[in-house]
Structure 1
Amino acid sequence: MLSYFSFAHRRASSLAVAGALALLAASCSSPTPGTTMADNAANDTTALVGRAAAPKGDANSPLQIVAAFREPQIVGVAVLPDGRVFGDFPRWDNNPVFPIAEVGANNSLKPYPNAAWCTWNETVRNEPQKHWICPQSVYADRAGMLWVLDPASPGLKATVPGGPKLVKIDPKTNTVVQNIAFPENVAPRKSYLNDVRVDTQQNYAYITESGEGSLVVVDLGSGKARRLLVKHPSMVGDTTLNIKADGKLLVDPTGKQGQFNADGIALSQDGQYLYWKPLTSYALYRIKTEALRNTSLSDAQLAAQIEDLGKVPACDGMILDAQNNLYLTAFEDHSIKRRTPAGKIETVVQDPRLEWPDTFAFSADGTTLYVTNSAIHKTPTWSKGVGQQDQPYHIFKMSLPK
């Protein structure tokens, strides 16, 4: 899932850009308590005056709409065994009321686990471990627990001291049961903890960190975390590839081309391998998780065990199914691809509504694939300060292809 860019702290501060952002904020709204997003979705026609028509899916597209939100921007999705769906709305270009929310009927959003956790303002600045600051990933593990990864870097500028954390929530009681705070040697000010996978057998979590490019390995039993392979070539994006979205280069308001480091992450079904890739890259890597858990290995020894799996599409999110097919959110051509265990790349679905397909989740039985579209490339940060989103953000689902 796309997140921090190595140059994010250098975002433009000119009056022109600031004015554009202010106008955008005035025109967009986050949900308010006790309301739904249905009105925002219904008002798309008004919001899109003067822009190109919103893309429409083919009548035969396998994608079904689970929810649609004009604002705020969604990036992450998680689905529990009982079918409950959760969304992640980071504090990037806007300030969502519910950065973590349970998604209900008619696009409704319920703050999760409660309104207090979703509050972040001057009144709670001294409690960074008790509030979502800029959550980036929501993930359901095999035991049915919900995990939220909060890099705590609102606006993609820098981490809030004491804010980065990994939080475990028991959905049966909707209460936090574990809260792991990351110190600055694990989550430095320029870091951005991106996406997480949890191995319930080994009781470990694995995290991509895209600020500088690294992996974070967390012993969930002790709560201790280690930052590994910092700025290793397998962790760092490549700006020479000219990777595009909608045919356009990703350039920030200062004119700098986007470099997106370690981002997509996937854990094999047996927990033996961790896969990852930088977003602006066509390379895919994996390593044995046993090596990552071995505290006696140096970075050089770990690097020697990294496997280069060859070329794959540029993508944001990744997930592995029961047959170890690797699904990829291929944002360059509005599609979902999959890489078979033999290395063959197949197109699962191509749909113009997949404007920057972002994050995956499976249903508990593994037969239904969920995906968000976050339209990263059309947000103000990557559109010269003015949002160009021409359709709602979505959660889609589809039956897993044979």
Structure 2
Amino acid sequence: MHSFPLKNWASPVAVAAASLLLTACNSTPTTADQPRGTMPADSTAAHVPAPAPANSPLTIVAEFNAPQVTGVAVAPGGKIFAFSPRWDYNPTFPVALVGANNTLTPYPDAGWCTWNDSVKAEPQKHWICPQAGYVDTQGMLWIVDPAAPGLKFTVPGGPKLVKTDPKTGQVLQTILYPESVAPRKSYLNDVRIDLQNKYAYLTDSGTGALVVTDLKTGKSRQLLAKQPSTLPDKNFITKAQGHALYDPTGKPGQFKADGIALSTDNQYLYYRALSGHSLYRIKTAALRNAALSPAQVQAAVEKLPDAPACDGMELDSKNNLYLTNFEEGAILRRTPAGKTETLVKEARLEWPDTFSWDPDGQHLYFTTSAIHKTPYWNKGVGQPREPFRIYKMTLAK
């Protein structure tokens, strides 16, 4: 495999190419679609980069003007993977190994990273709109592909969870999600892997639901669909660093089940909608028990004290909950007792998005995706912004 410099796919040529390659992205977004981000050309207005505070605990691992990166995963050996969904643009490498000097190598290869008319008959073998990845306790990389380019509709046969070996690049397992589990308007968002019980837990931000997958059989179930814990808080206005998100019709952005975190003992799954301050958890035993009725699963949901809105979540071995707080451009830590502290807050943290621990559990990585600066949420004009970045911060165990 070869490494290539990151290219600016926000150019008019690239946008035109994307519209030809991805017919699902051609139509104008409706209010119901509620894209989280878009990637046409940004405003040409000059942007003065926000300075890094002298005492910042953050290290920039990679930065680039495009593609827009939502997810990050760190595998043994220091391998860092970036995930760039096909929302309204066509990244060359939607899943990539991040190299020196902001280079990307397609993962697991260029074929998997290709999605156009020539391969549309094999949606299970290509990244269609990969959103996130997660490295399990054995070092395997699991990749979530909601297969909904442009956040429109899923490509039939495309929604999947793929297990790969970062050491070899080999695809080890592909789990497909039927429409009964991932409906056409679903958007599988993030995943946590429980090797103790051999299950995967995912959020669906299109429907507003959790998806539970038996890794032994490959069978999945959709749970808590359109329940209060997977839907936005009523009348909540989503804001990022003071900027309220309203779509082109003037309606506020409302984002459903998104953030997810699994306790290190695999007993609890924490989750929440992006739009809101409500925070929930549920015992994973209840999610795995197929004998429970929908009402019994709903009764097992535990509402926790409110917490600041966030996109990504992660837990440490002491059950401290970390939050990518896009409202203030900050990284927060919430103790098991419910006390929330700010670890870092900086102007350059434009929509901190997704977390990943590295294998030693001492370094926490996260992305910034600047969703609130994109054209869809700014009357069609992309706002001047910081580069999309992957950051790293060191935390004591």
TM-score by length of 1: 0.88
2:330 matched to 1:335?
A: yes
Q: Secondary structure at the match of 2:235?
A: helix
Give, in whole Å, the separation in 2 of the partners of 1:187 and 1:248: 32
Q: Cα deviations across residues 308-345 of structure 1 (Å, max 9, x unaligned)?
A: 11110000000001111000000011100111011101
Contact 2:238 2:253 in 1 (8 A): no
User: Where does residue 18 of structure 2 map in the other structure?
Assistant: none
Distance 1:389 1:72, change over 3 A: farther
Distance 1:53 1:401, change over 3 A: farther
Q: CA deviation at 1:85?
A: 0.3
Matched letter for residue 336 of structure 1: I
Q: Secondary structure at the match of 1:301?
A: helix
Give, in whole Å, the separation in 2 of the partners of 1:398 and 1:236: 31
Matched letter for residue 62 of structure 1: P
User: Which of 265, 280, 286 lines up with 1:285 in the alignment?
Assistant: 280
Contact 1:239 1:259 in 2 (8 A): no
Give, in whole Å, the separation in 2 of the partners of 1:371 and 1:171: 19
Q: Which moved more, 1:170-179 or 1:313-322?
A: 170-179
Give, in whole Å, the separation in 2 of the partners of 1:387 and 1:175: 38
Unaligned runs of 5+ in 2: 1-26, 32-37
Q: In the comparison of the two structures, how many residue pairs are matched? A: 365
2:109 matched to 1:91?
A: no
User: Which of 73, 77, 84 lines up with 1:78 in the alignment?
Assistant: 73
User: Where does residue 104 of structure 1 map in the other structure?
Assistant: 99
Matched letter for residue 168 of structure 2: T
Give, in whole Å, the separation in 1 of the partners of 2:319 and 2:357: 13
Matched letter for residue 199 of structure 2: Y
Matched letter for residue 297 of structure 1: L
Matched letter for residue 172 of structure 2: V
Counterparts of residues 1-400 of structure 1 (less than 5 Å): 11=29, 25=40, 50-400=45-395
Q: Secondary structure at the match of 1:316?
A: coil
Give, in whole Å, the separation in 2 of the partners of 1:175 and 1:367: 27
Contact 1:236 1:278 in 2 (8 A): yes
Q: Secondary structure at the match of 1:66?
A: strand
Q: Cα deviations across residues 194-213 of structure 1 (Å, max 9, x unaligned)?
A: 10000111110000001120
Distance 1:105 1:398, change over 3 A: same
Q: CA deviation at 1:242?
A: 1.9
Matched letter for residue 270 of structure 1: D
Contact 2:114 2:127 in 1 (8 A): yes
Q: Cα deviations across residues 78-136 of structure 1 (Å, max 9, x unaligned)?
A: 00121100000111132100000000000000000000000001111111101000001
Q: Secondary structure at the match of 2:261?
A: strand
Distance 1:244 1:401, change over 3 A: farther
Q: CA deviation at 1:10?
A: 7.0
Contact 1:379 1:389 in 2 (8 A): no
Q: Secondary structure at the match of 2:317?
A: coil
Matched letter for residue 340 of structure 2: I
RMSD: 1.6
Task: Report percent identity of matched pairs.
Answer: 61
Give, in whole Å, the separation in 2 of the partners of 1:395 and 1:217: 29
Q: Cα deviations across residues 26-72 of structure 1 (Å, max 9, x unaligned)?
A: x58xxxxxxxxxxxxxxxxxxx7523422222111111000001101
Q: Secondary structure at the match of 2:287?
A: helix
Matched letter for residue 379 of structure 1: T
Q: Secondary structure at the match of 2:295?
A: helix
Q: Cα deviations across residues 177-230 of structure 1 (Å, max 9, x unaligned)?
A: 100010000010010001000011111000000112000000000000000011
